[in-house]
Structure 1
Amino acid sequence: MLSVTAQRQPESKMRFLVRGLLIAVAGLGIWMATQAAVIPAKAMVAQFLLNSAFEASKATGTPQKPWPWADMTPVARLRVPRLGVDQIVLSGGSGEAMAFGPTVLPGTAAPGQPGTTVLTAHRDTHFRFLERLEVDDSIRLESEHGEVKEYEVIGTEVVRWDGFSIPHADGESRLVLVTCFPFDSTKRGAERYVVHGSPDGQPISQ
């Protein structure tokens, strides 16, 4: 027959294991809460640095990096008054740049310059608002030189990534916003959502 002490040993071990498990779960919860708080904080700091770099670029006339190791610089500010959108546009078109804001597609016109400027960003973050844009909405693009161009949304379309071509601008300044489609998908598909903007609201010649 087991003694009382022998019977209590398994019970003590079980309580020890349960206590350890609870401590581990609590620790995991604290860690996850900390990470959840850190991510928004990092985003806020990044936006502050991007805005500061953009204003410094306008003041000095020289592109300024938001942080020393960045592989991009702010080149424009994108605003959509009706939707309250206000975003810093970045150069380079790299993955790092797109994590922080819209980027200028390499090979297209610089913001505000003659030609077609193509901006691209992720559909689930900075360009999520594209699905709410409507024809005749105003889009304002301020260059790093302080010049502001106002565009009018003249239409949207869904195209395959390999079927998209940059519209001819006829020497004028045109704006195109592009993101992946559909908006609620978690997979990178072949379709792209395209918004066309014109400074005078006239159709863009192809």
Structure 2
Amino acid sequence: MKKNVKLSSFYYGFPVFLVTTTDNSNGEVNVASISSSISLGDKIIIGVTKGSKTYSNLLSGSDVVINIPDYKLWEKVEELGKLTGSDTLSEGQIKWGVEVCHDKFSKVGLHTEASTDITPPRVIECPIQAECKTVSTTDKGRFILVELDIVNVWVERELLGANDVVDSSKWKPLIYNFREYDTTGDALGFNFKYGH
């Protein structure tokens, strides 16, 4: 039997990804962990909290790389969540012990490689990366929705099966599930569009 409950969050199982953006005023690169997204075709829509460095970089016109980690990077992702590239901390960030850090890559031990069609770099440690052009932002109160066009996708070769399709038996993404980190289990079956 079900019970009506009030949850503090409704993160019912989303892939976690690392967003890299650039501050167009000084070229400084920021990396942040995010778990709010939807992808359809060659578009991705992400949710970004206002006041974050990612937010200000997007407002300055930055494009975006969506860097998708596998489950083995969960501790680095968690560490990134406790850092901000902004100079100002919100009350919530102070409460949760968030620190200001302008070189998150060094702090958490991540590395970059150049993108081919946009300015922000890709995160080397992430097996899947999507270079994206920022199309639009929509104000939603405490956050913005960002529409992105995918212009390039990079996938580690060992994850690819026939016809350069990601082999789901080899790919174990990091999932944010009701504020816990998780990954996928055994495959249940294939969608009728698999491989097309």
Would you tell me which structure has more helix in proportion to its own residues?
1
Q: Give the TM bin, normalised by the shorter chain.
A: under 0.3
TM-score normalised to the size of structure 2? 0.22
TM-score normalised to the size of structure 1? 0.22
Return the index of the structure with the highest Cα Rg.
Answer: 1
Would you tell me which structure has more strand in proportion to its own residues?
2
**Relative contact order higher in (CA < 8 Å, ≥ 6 apart):** 2
